[in-house]
Amino acid sequence: MRFDTPATTNPIDQGKVVGQRIHRIDGPLKTTGRAVYAYEWHDPNTRYAYGYVVGSAIAKGRIGSMDVSAAKQAPGVIAVVTSDGIGELKKGKYNTAKLFGGTEIQHYHQAIAVVVAETFEEARAAAALVKVDYAEQKGVFDLAAAKDTAVTPKEGEPDSAAGDFDAAFETAAVKFDQSYTTPDQSHAMMEPHASIAAWNGDDLTVWTSSQMIDWWRTDLATTLGIDKEKVHIMSPFIGGGFGCKLFLRADAVLAALAAREAKRPVKVALPRPFLMNNTTHRPATIQRIRIGAERNGRITAIAHESWSGDLPGGGPEVAVQQTRLLYAGANRMTATRLATLDLPEGNAMRAPGEAPGMMALEIAIDEVAERLGLDPVEFRIVNDTQVDPENRERPFSHRNLVGCLRTGAERFGWQDRNKQPGTRREGNWLVGMGVASAFRNNLVLPSGARVRLDREGIVTVETDMTDIGTGSYTIIAQTAAEMLGVPVDKVAVSLGDSRFPVSSGSGGQFGGNCSTAGVYAACVKLREAVAQKLGFNSSDELTFAEGEVGAGDRRVPLAQAASDESLVVEDRIEFGDLDKTHQQSTFGAHFVEVGVDVATGETRIRRMLAVCGAGRILNPITARSQVIGAMTMGVGGALSEELVVDKERGFFVNHDLAAYEVPVHADIPHQEVIFLDETDPMSSPMKAKGIAELGLCGVAAAVANGIYNATGIRVREYPITLDKLINELPEVS
Amino acid sequence: MQSPGALEISRRDLLVASAATVTVASTASLSHSQTNAPAASQSTKVSFTVNGERRELQLDNRTTLLDALREHLHLTGTKKGCDHGQCGACTVLIDGRRVNACLTLAAMHEGEGITTIEGLGQPGSLHPMQAAFVEHDGFQCGYCTPGQICSSVAMLEEMKVNIPSHATGDLLAPAEVTPAEIRERMSGNICRCGAYSNIVQAITEVAGRKA
C-alpha cells in the first residue's frame, strides 16, 4: 500500500480498540519471568559453550602481539578467537568502528578476543589470562580542545540559512549570545547486549537483542562474508535499547565466530562494565545560540551552531535540527561541525539531535524571555509558526504547540510561579518552576507485515518489528483487532524474527506509527481476501465487527472465510512525499517544579507534567509510559548523567551503573501526562505520530530553568550537579 | 500471549531426552584435570530449595546464585543486568529477604529457601504484585521487572516488621507505606525505561489491599 495522499475516514477511526486503554498483552509473560530474552533461549538438547570478551586496554594504536597460550590451557577452555588471528573482517554499513577483526585499535574496549569455555566462570577466568602487547598511539579525546579543528561534515545538511541572520542580529533591539555544553551520555538499558549463535552447516541462527532485525541481519552477513539468506535473527524480547541496539554489535559477531570455531552454539553477553566504551554513546556537544528579538518579543534573528566529535568516518550529533523548525523568525542560520575524536563511537541515542539540542535551545529561550521581561510560556507562543520558517510555502502537517503550552500552564498552576528567581523558600528548599517546549520530528519508514486468519477466527500477525518496551505487541494487536472486527484476545502477534516481513523496526520514534501502518496495509488486503472468499461484491460497503463480516442484511462469521484453509496475505506500507510537502513533527510542553537545598545545592524534582500533541494516541497506557520514561531519562540528563572522559588515556571512566548515575526511584516524583486529542492524516492511515522521543526533548531544559527560577543561578553546562550551584547559593543563616 | 520461545521449542522434533546441563561444570572440569594441565575448576555440591522444589547442583565454586538459577536451573526470570550489585535486576528472595543474586555465591546457600519470580505466580494465576504491575503498567521492556516485583514483595514485609529506612521519620512509630518510603526502599532497583511513577502506584495498591 502506497500512502501518498492524506488519510480519509478508515476503520481505525472507529476507535473501538485502537486508542483504548488496553493493558500490554505481553504483561503476564514479563511480570512472571516467562518472557525469553536473548541470552535465555534454551534448547535442552544443546550443550552451549560460553564466550567471554576481551577488550582493548588502549584507545588507539595497534596490537603488537597477543599471547593466548595460558588462556588456551586454562580449565574448560574450548577455543580462543582473536582479532589479529582472524584477519580483517568487513565492516557493516551502519557501524563506524569495527566490531572485531584486524590489528588496529580504534577505541578503548574495542573487542580483540573472545574466549570460549564450557562454563561462564571458566571463560571469564581464562579471558583474564590473555596477554596483549600494544603499540599505543597518541589520540585526540578532548572535544573542547579539538573544537577548532572541526570541519563541515560531508553528509546531511550541515548548514542552513534563510534571510540575513548577521544583518538582522546586528540591528536587533535585544541581542543574546550564549554557549552551552552537553556531556557524553550512555543508553544504559537494563539488558546488556547478548547473543547466542548456532550454526547448522552454512546456516546461522542468532538469538540476540536488536531493535532493527533487518539491519542486523544484513550487517552480520556482511561482517561474516556470508549470504544474508543464511542468517536467521531472533529477537522477540528486548530489554531496552534507546538506540544502543539499532546497529549490529560485537556480541553477535563474537558469538557467531566463536560458535564456528567451537563447533557448538555459543552464548556471549557483554559484561556491564564493558558496555559504555565498547558500544556507542550520545556524543557530547558544545553549542552556541544567538537570538535577536524585538522588544515586543518577536524573534527576528536566530542562530544555532553545534560542535561534536566522532571517530573517523563517523557523523555529528545533529543538535541544531529543531532550531530550523521550532520558532518563527525571518533571519536564521544553523551550522553543524564535526571534530575527529578517538573516543568510542558516537551514535544515535533516544532523540538524537533534538535531545541535546533542546537541552541548550530551551535554556536560551528562557534566558531571552527573561531579558525581554516576558513570561517564558508567552514568549514561546508569540514565536509560534504554522509553516517551516526556512520555507514558508511548506506548512506543518499538524502543529499545536500553543495548545500544549496553554494546557500545561493551566494544569500545572504556572501562574503561581515566583516571577523573581530565588524568592520562594520552604524550609531548607528554594523552590522554582521551569518550562520548555518539546519537539521531535516524525519520521516515516516502510514497514511490512503478514496476516493470517484461521478457521478458529484467530488473526495472527507476523512482522520483524521489535518491542523494546514500547508496546509494539499491544498496539499491533489493537490495529489488527480494529481492522478485522475481533477482540484483542483473538489476535496473536509474533515479532522479532527475520523470517517475517521486514518492518520499520524500533528507532527514531517511527516504530509505533509505521509498524501499525504496515499491519493496517496487510489487514486491508486480508479484508479483501475475506470478502472475496465469502462472496461479497467488491462494491459492497463491508463492516467487520464482533467477529462477523456484513453488508446490507447479510452477516457471516469471519472465521468462515478460513473454514477450508487459512487465509494468508502480506503487504507493506510505503510512503510518498507527504513528509516532504508537509513538515511532520510532534510537539509538547514540559513543566517541572524543583526544590534546591539551600545548604547543599542538591536538586530534587517535586512535580512534573508533560502535555503532548503527537497525532492519534494508539494506546494511552503504553504511550503514557513512554512519556514518563522519557521524562525520567530527561531528569537524569539534567542532574546526573555524564560519561566522564579520561582525556589522557581516552576512555569513559565511569563505565558501570554505580558511577554512571541514572535516576532511581527516589529521584522521581509522581508524573502527569496529558495527550491532546488530535489526529494527523498526513502521517499514515493510523494518523498517529511518534511519542517515545518527544517525551525526552526539552525535559532537561525545563529542569534547568526550574533551578534558575528556584535559585537565580543559571547553569549552562550539563549535568547540573551541586558543585555547579553551591558557590552561588545564598549564605545559610 | 504465548511466549515466542515456547512456540519455537514446540516446533522442534525432540529426538533426544533432555540433557542434564547441571552436570556440565563438573564433567568439563574432569576432562581437563590431567597431568601438566592447570588445576581443574573447583566445584562444590550444594542443595537448596527453589520455589518449593529441592534442587541439588554440583557447581563451580565461582558460580553466583544468579548464574546457578539462570544457567543451571534455567530459571531465567531472574535477570542479569550488571552482575555487580548495581541494578537490582537479579533480586530474589532468600528465606523471605531480598538479595541481589549476582552478589552471592550459590555454594553459600546450602539448605536455604529461594523464591524467584517464577515462584511468585504465573500467567493465569498472577501474584497480586504481578497483577498490579500489569494493571499500572509498571514496566516497559520488562528486564528489570522480575527484580522490581521480588524486591517490592519483600520490601512490604520489611515494613510490616518495622525495619526503618532513610525516609523513616520516627523510628519508634509503626512504618507507614508512603510514596517516599517506597521510593527510598526501592531505589536499589533501577528501571531505565523509567516506570518508577507507575511502579510506586502498583506497590501502593498492593500495600493498601493487604492492610
**Cβ contacts (< 8 Å) between A23 and chain B: which residues?**
134-135, 137
The reply to whether ipTM tops 0.90 is yes
Q: What is the dihedral of CA A653, A692, A326, A289, to 10 degrees?
A: -10
Q: Cα A504 to the chain's mean position, in Å? A: 13
Residue B200 touches chain A, beta carbons under 8 Å: yes
How distant is the Cα of B167 from the closest Cα of chain A, in angstroms? 10
Confidence class for position B4, pLDDT limits 50, 70, 90: low
pLDDT tens digits, residue range A629-648?
Answer: 999 999 999 999 999 999 99
Contacts of A47 in chain B (CB under 8 A): 19, 21, 24
Question: Is A628–B122 a contact, with Cβ atoms under 8 angstroms apart?
Answer: no
**C-beta separation of A222 from A298 below 8 A:** no
A620 touches chain B (CB under 8 A): no
Residue B196 and residue B189: Cα distance in Å, rounded?
A: 10
Q: Where are the beta strands (DSSP E) in A643-730?
A: 645-646, 651-652, 671-675
Average pLDDT of the segment spanning B114-141: 98
- Statement: residue A610 has pLDDT above 70: yes
CA distance B94 to chain A (A): 17
* pLDDT > 60? residue B176: yes
Question: Does the distance separating the beta carbons of B130 and A31 come in below 8 Å?
Answer: yes
Task: Please indicate whether, in this complex, the C-beta atoms of B194 and A239 are within 8 angstroms of each other.
Answer: no
**Domain spanning B17-33+40-120 has what CATH number?**
3.10.20.30
Check CB contact of A552 with chain B, cutoff 8 Å.
Answer: no
Distance separating alpha carbons of residues A14 and A20, to the nearest angstrom? 11
For chain A, the residue count is 733
Q: How far is CA A169 from CA A94, A165, A173, A175, B114, in A?
A: 40, 6, 9, 7, 68
Measured between beta carbons, which residues in chain A are less than 8 angstroms from residue B77?
Answer: 32-34
In chain A, domain spans: 2-35+444-580, 38-138+193-278, 353-442+584-728
Instruction: Confirm or reject CATH 3.20.20.10 for domain A2-35+444-580, answering yes or no.
Output: no
> What is the sign, positive or negative, of the torsion defined by CA atoms of B162, B164, B170, B172?
positive
Model confidence at A101, in pLDDT bands (50, 70, 90)?
A: confident
Which residue in B has a C-alpha nearest to residue A41's C-alpha?
Answer: B5
The separation between CA A558 and the C-alpha centre of its own chain, rounded to angstroms, equals: 38
Q: Give the Cα separation of A668 and A659 in Å (integer).
A: 19
Instruction: Residue A481: list chain B partners with CB under 8 A.
Output: none
Whether residue A693 lies in the annotated active site: yes
Domain B17-33+40-120 and domain B128-210, same fold? Reply is no
Residue A265 confidence class, pLDDT cut points 50, 70, 90: very high
Cα separation, B113 vs B53, in Å, equals 9
Report the residue of B135, B140, B186 to disrupt the A interface, i.e. the one with the largest count of A CBs within 10 Å: B140
Q: Among A121, A468, A657, whose Cβ lies nearest the Cβ of B86? A: A657
A44 in reach of chain B (CB within 8 A)? yes
How many CB pairs lie under 8 A apart between chains A and B? Answer: 269
Contacts of B87 in chain A (CB under 8 A): 190, 272, 657
Domain boundaries along the sequence of chain B? 17-33+40-120, 128-210
Architecture of the CATH domain A38-138+193-278: 2-Layer Sandwich (3.30)
Residue B29 clears pLDDT 90, i.e. is over it: no
Residue A209 has pLDDT above 50, yes or no: yes
Q: Region B184-189: what's the mean pLDDT?
A: 98
The mean pLDDT of B169-175, rounded to a whole number, is: 88
A122, A317, A570, A693: the catalytic one is A693
| d(CA B116, nearest CA chain A) in Å | 9
Each residue's pLDDT tens digit, A178-206:
999 999 999 999 999 999 999 999 999 99
Has residue B13 got a pLDDT over 90?
A: no
Q: Which helix (H) or strand (E) holds A590?
A: strand A585-597
- Determine whether the interchain pair B79/A272 forms a contact, defined as Cβ–Cβ distance below 8 Å: no
pLDDT computed for residue B3 by the predictor: 61
Q: Which residue of B has its CA nearest to A193?
A: B81
pLDDT, mean of residues B198-204: 98
Is B86 within 8 Å of A32 when comparing Cβ atoms? no
Start-end of H helices in A330-441: 354-372, 376-382, 401-412
Question: Nearest-CA distance from B141 to chain A in Å?
Answer: 3
As a whole number, mean pLDDT of residues A490-502 equals 98
Report the pLDDT value the prediction gives residue B39, as an integer from 0 to 100: 60
Q: Which CATH number fits domain A353-442+584-728: 3.30.1330.10, 3.40.1390.10, 3.30.365.10, 3.60.21.10?
A: 3.30.365.10
Q: How many helices (H) and strands (E) does chain A have?
A: 17, 32
Contact present, A378 and A298 (Cβ < 8 Å) = no
Residue B184 touches chain A, beta carbons under 8 Å: yes
Whole-number average pLDDT of chain B? 86
User: Averaged over A221-241, what is the pLDDT?
Assistant: 98
The answer to whether residue A94 neighbours chain B at the CB level (below 8 Å) is no
The minimum CA-CA distance between A252 and chain B, rounded to whole Å, is: 18
Does B134 touch chain A if contact means CB atoms closer than 8 Å? yes
Q: Calculate how close chain B gets to A400, using CA atoms only, in Å.
A: 26
Using the Cβ of B7 and the Cβ atoms of chain A, whether some distance falls under 8 Å is answered with yes
Distance of CA A122 to the CA centre of its chain: 36
CATH of domain B128-210: 1.10.150.120
Matching CATH topology for A38-138+193-278 and A353-442+584-728? yes
User: What tens digit of pLDDT does each residue of A352-366 get?
Assistant: 999 999 999 999 999
Question: Which residues of B fall within a CB distance of 8 Å from A191?
Answer: 79, 81, 141, 143
Is A665's CB within 8 Å of B187's CB? yes
Q: Tell me how close the Cα of A271 comes to any Cα of chain B, in angstroms.
A: 7
Indicate which of B141, B165, B203 best probes the interface with A, i.e. most A CBs within 10 Å of its own CB: B141
Confidence bin at A86 (pLDDT 50/70/90)? confident
Contacting residues of B for A271, CB less than 8 Å apart: 83
Region of B85 (left: φ > 0; alpha: ψ -120 to 50; beta: rest) is: left
Q: pLDDT tens digits for A8-34?
A: 999 999 999 999 999 999 999 999 999
Test B141 with A240 for CB contact under 8 angstroms: yes
Average pLDDT taken over every residue of chain A: 97
Residue B30: is its pLDDT beyond 50? no
Give CA torsion, residues A520, A523, A525, A528, to 10 deg. Answer: -130
